[in-house]
Structure 1
Amino acid sequence: MSTDTAPAAGRAAAPPAAWEEARARVYAAGLAAPLPVTARPLAEADGHTLAEPLTTRTALPAFPTSSVDGWAVRGPGPWRVVGRVLAGGSPSPLTEDGTTVEIATGAMVPEGTTAVLRIEESERTPDGRVTGTPRTTPEWRKPGEEAFAGEELLPTGTPVDPAVIGLAAACGYDTLPVRRAPRAALLVFGDELLTAGPPGAGRVRDALGPAVPAWLRRDGCEVNPTDVIGPVVDTLPAHVEALRSALAAADVVCTTGGTMHGPVDHLHPALAALGADYVVNTVAVRPGFPMLVARLTGPDGRVRFVAGLPGNPQSAIVALVSLVAPLLTGLQGRPMPVLPQAVLAEPVPGRGDFTHLALVRLDRVAGTAHPVRHVGSAMLRGLAGADGFAVVRPGASGEPGSRVPVVPLPLLPGERAS
C-alpha cells in the first residue's frame, strides 16, 4: 500500500484531500497502472494514445520531389525534351546538359537535374525545345526536408487524431502501437430511483444512469449497454456482488450515490469487503465533497479502480471532471493537460477552505466566463447550458475581472463550445 492511500476499512478518518492534490493523486495512480498496449490499424487508431514514440521509417520526403508542374532541366537552355516523369515513377538520370523531362507535381526529380522550370513560365521553340528562366529558389523538396530517417516526431502519450494518423501513414505505418481504450462500467445505487417515466410519489428519475456513460465516452472510454447496472438493491451483499461482477471486465467502475455513511450507504463497507485501498476519500471541493477513488488488484494481477460519484447529479459531474478524468488520462499514459483560463465576467463566491467549482458559460472570443443559473448540486438545468467549471481556490473569492482556471466539460472529437 502506498503512503497516499488508506484501506477502505479505515473509512473517512483522514481529512478531505485538497482538490488539486486529489487530482494529482489519481493521475499518478493511473500512470502506475497503464492499460495494455495493442496494435491498431490506422483506420481504427483514432482516439487512442501512442504507446511508443512515432518515428520516421525513412527520410521525409524519401526522395527529391517536384513541388510544381514543369520541366526538370539539366544545364543551360534551350533544352531538348527526352521524356516525362509522373508521380509514382522512377525516372532515369539526366546525363547530358541541354536536356529536360516534363515533370508533374510530386514526381521524383531525376538525378542530374539542376533546376525545375515552372510550366507557366516556359515556352516551346518551333523545333520543340523548351526555353525559360528557372527561379533561383529550388522548386523541389529535398530528401529529409521535413524529417530525417529515425527522427522522433511525436512522443509516447500523444493522443491519436486524424492529423497523427495522416502523419503515420506518410511515414509508412500500417498499424500503430496504442494503449487500449479504458473500459468503464456504471453501477447506479438508490432504491428511490425510477428508470422510466416522470418522477412522483417520493421517487425521482435516475438522471445519471443515462448521462454518465455518455460523459465517459467523451473521455475516451468504452462503455457497453450491458456495463450499466442499476438501480442496485440497497443492501451490502448486493453492492459487493455488483462491484465484484463489474470489476471482472472493467478498468474503471463508477458508482452513483452511497458515498457518505448513512443507513443505506453501502459503498464504503463494500469496498472494505473487497480489500480496496483509497487513493482519494473525500475532496475539499463544493459541490461534490463526498467523492472517492479506490484501487483494487484483480486475480489477474491488474489494477482496477472504483470511482464513487455522489448521488446529486451536478455533484456527480464535478466528481467526473475532478477525479475520473485525471485517472483516465493517467491510465492512457497521456500528459496531464494544463487547464485553460478565463476572466470572470461576474462575481463567483468562494467556499471558505474548500475549492469552489462554479458552472460557467464561456465567451471564447472575449475570453470571459459567465456564471450560469440553476446550479444547485441536485440540478442539471445549469449544466446543460454550461461549458465547464470555473475554479475558485480555497480562501479566495472570484471577483469580476479575475483570471481563473476552467475545467472544461468533455467534448466529442470535433465539438467546440460557442
Structure 2
Amino acid sequence: MSANHSTGVPWREARAIAAASSCPLPAETVPLPDAAWRVLAEACTARADLPGSDTAAMDGWAVAGPGPWRVAGRMLAGAAPWVGTLAAGEAVEIMTGAVVPAGSAAVLPYEKGTVRGAEGEVSGALGGRTHIRRAGEDYARGDLLVAAGRLLTPAVCGLLAQGGIDTVAVHRRPRVRLLVTGDEVIGAGVPAAGQVRDVFGPMVTALVAAAGGVVTGHDLLRDDPGLLAAALTGADTDVVAVSGSSSAGRADHLRDVLDKIGGRLTVDQVACRPGHPQVLAELPGGRRLVGLPGNPFAGLVAGVTLLQPLLRTMAGRLREAQLRLPVLGDVQLTGGITKLVPVLVEGDRAVVVPGARPASLGGAAAADALAVLDDGWAPGAAAELLPLAGPWW
C-alpha cells in the first residue's frame, strides 16, 4: 500500500457516499417492547384521549366550591369513578391518577390542607393551580403521537404505550455477515507467537448494533481468494463486512475478488489516518460490502466512516445529531488528510487521549469519542465528535 494517505476519497465525502448508497429497509410489525432503539416506519396516532378522564395530578382532596370542605369519601387510583356530583363545600380524599368526581374544581394537595374534627373537615388555600389533568389535554383520540422516522427512545416507547399502542411498524434491522481474513487470526484463547486474536468479531458486532443492525454471521477465513469469493457470493445478508483484505499486500485479495465476481467499488481508499485502505462496494444483487483494514484501530475508524452510516440509512436512522467541541491536545497532522483521534469529553471541551496507534485499541477504549481533525485544525479549535461510548442522536 502506498504511504500517501492523501490519496482516495476525502473523509467527509466517503461518509456521505456510504450514507446515500442505500435506503431504509422495508417495515415489519413488532410488539412495542421489542421495538426499542428501532425506527418507526409508519406514524402512530392516539387510540384514546390522553388522559382518558379528568384525573388528579396530586395526592390530596378533590374539592367543590369555596372551603372549608366536608370530606365525603376517598378515591384511589384505579377505583371506579365516584358516583354523583360533588356539591359546593364537599371534598373527596384522592390519590394521584384517580378520576376526579364530577363537580370538582381543584385538588387541594395534602401539604396545603388541614383536617379538623371527627367528621373530617378540610381547609386550605387552593392557589392558582387546579392540579387536575383534564381529559384529552395532552392528546385527543386520533392525534398524531409520533411521526414516521422517529427513533424509539424510552420516552417514545412510553408515550406510545400511553396512547394504547401494542405493536408498531419499524424498519427491518440490516443484517451483516462479518468475514475476518488472515492466516494468523484465531477466534479464542491466548495467541501463540505469530498469531493474533480476532478483535473484529466483538468490535464490529458492537458497531453494527449501535447503528441499528445485527450481525447474523461471523466467519474466520484463511488468506485464500477462492474462499473469499465463495463467502462473498454465498452471503445472504444485506451487508458483508470484510476485515484484513482491503490493503495492497500479497495476502490482500479483496479488490481482485470483487473484480472477478462482478462487484463494483464506490469508495476505494479514504484520505484519512488511520483507516486509509477502507473500501465500499456494491455486490451482485444489490448487497453492499465494506472493507475494513486489518489493524484494529484503523478498522474501528473505517467502521464509523463507512459501515455505520450505511447501516443507519438501512435502519431508517436518517437524522444524526452532530456534536462539535474545542479539542485540546498535541496532534501532528499531515496535509490533505483527515485524522481521527480518540478523545475524552470534559465538560465543554474534548481532550486527546495520547498514544493512539493503528494497531492498538487502548486509546479508543479509554475514549468517549473520536475527534475528526481536518487539515488546518489547530489545538483548541472546534472539531466534530463521533461517539464511541453511546449514540447522541
What residue is the counterpart of 1:367 in the other structure?
A: 349
Q: Does 1:390 align with 2:371?
A: yes
Q: Does 1:94 align with 2:85?
A: yes
Q: How does 1:250-399 map to 2 (within 5 A)?
A: 250-296=237-283, 298=285, 303-360=286-343, 362-365=344-347, 367-373=349-355, 375-394=356-375, 396=376, 398-399=377-378
C-alpha contact (below 8 Å) 1:219/1:410 kept by paired residues: no
When residues 127 and 208 of structure 1 are mapped into structure 2, their CA distance, relative to the original with a 3 A threshold, is closer
Aligned residues: 383
What is the one-letter code of the residue matched to 1:409? L
Report the CA distance between 1:293 and its aligned residue.
1.6
Report the CA distance between 1:369 and its aligned residue.
1.8
C-alpha contact (below 8 Å) 1:372/1:385 kept by paired residues: no
Q: How does 1:236-255 map to 2 (within 5 A)?
A: 236-245=225-234, 247-248=235-236, 250-255=237-242
Report the CA distance between 1:269 and its aligned residue.
2.8
Give the TM-score, by structure 2 length.
Answer: 0.87
Query: Partners of 2:295 and 2:282 in 1: how far apart?
Result: 23
Structure 1 residue ranges without an equivalent (≥5): 1-14, 414-418
**Can you list the C-alpha shifts for 1:382-401, whole angstroms capped at 9, x where unaligned?**
3332333221213x1x3222
Query: Partners of 1:197 and 1:74 in 2: how far apart?
Result: 76
C-alpha contact (below 8 Å) 1:341/1:405 kept by paired residues: yes
Query: Partners of 1:188 and 1:235 in 2: how far apart?
Result: 12
C-alpha contact (below 8 Å) 2:105/2:130 kept by paired residues: no
When residues 379 and 96 of structure 1 are mapped into structure 2, their CA distance, relative to the original with a 3 A threshold, is closer
Query: Partners of 1:212 and 1:407 in 2: how far apart?
Result: 16
Query: Partners of 1:127 and 1:207 in 2: how far apart?
Result: 74
Report the CA distance between 1:350 and its aligned residue.
1.9
SS state at 1:255 partner: strand
SS state at 1:117 partner: strand
Of stretches 258-267 and 61-70 in structure 1, the one that deviates more from structure 2 is: 258-267
C-alpha contact (below 8 Å) 2:40/2:150 kept by paired residues: yes
Q: Does 1:197 align with 2:190?
A: yes
Query: Partners of 2:198 and 2:106 in 1: how far apart?
Result: 71
What is the one-letter code of the residue matched to 2:106? A
Q: Which of 219, 222, 232 is equivalent to 2:214?
A: 222
What residue is the counterpart of 1:164 in the other structure?
A: 156
SS state at 2:311 partner: helix
C-alpha contact (below 8 Å) 1:346/1:399 kept by paired residues: no
**Can you list the C-alpha shifts for 1:226-273, whole angstroms capped at 9, x where unaligned?**
x1111x23333211111122x21x222110122134443221232233
Report the CA distance between 1:187 and its aligned residue.
0.4
Q: Which of 26, 29, 43 is equivalent to 2:21?
A: 29
C-alpha contact (below 8 Å) 2:55/2:97 kept by paired residues: yes
What residue is the counterpart of 1:176 in the other structure?
A: 168
Between the aligned residues of both structures, percent identity stands at 39
C-alpha contact (below 8 Å) 2:86/2:101 kept by paired residues: no
Report the CA distance between 1:309 and its aligned residue.
0.5
Cα RMSD (Å): 2.7
C-alpha contact (below 8 Å) 1:215/1:410 kept by paired residues: no
Structure 2 residue ranges without an equivalent (≥5): 1-6
When residues 336 and 279 of structure 1 are mapped into structure 2, their CA distance, relative to the original with a 3 A threshold, is farther
C-alpha contact (below 8 Å) 2:145/2:160 kept by paired residues: no
What is the one-letter code of the residue matched to 1:198? P
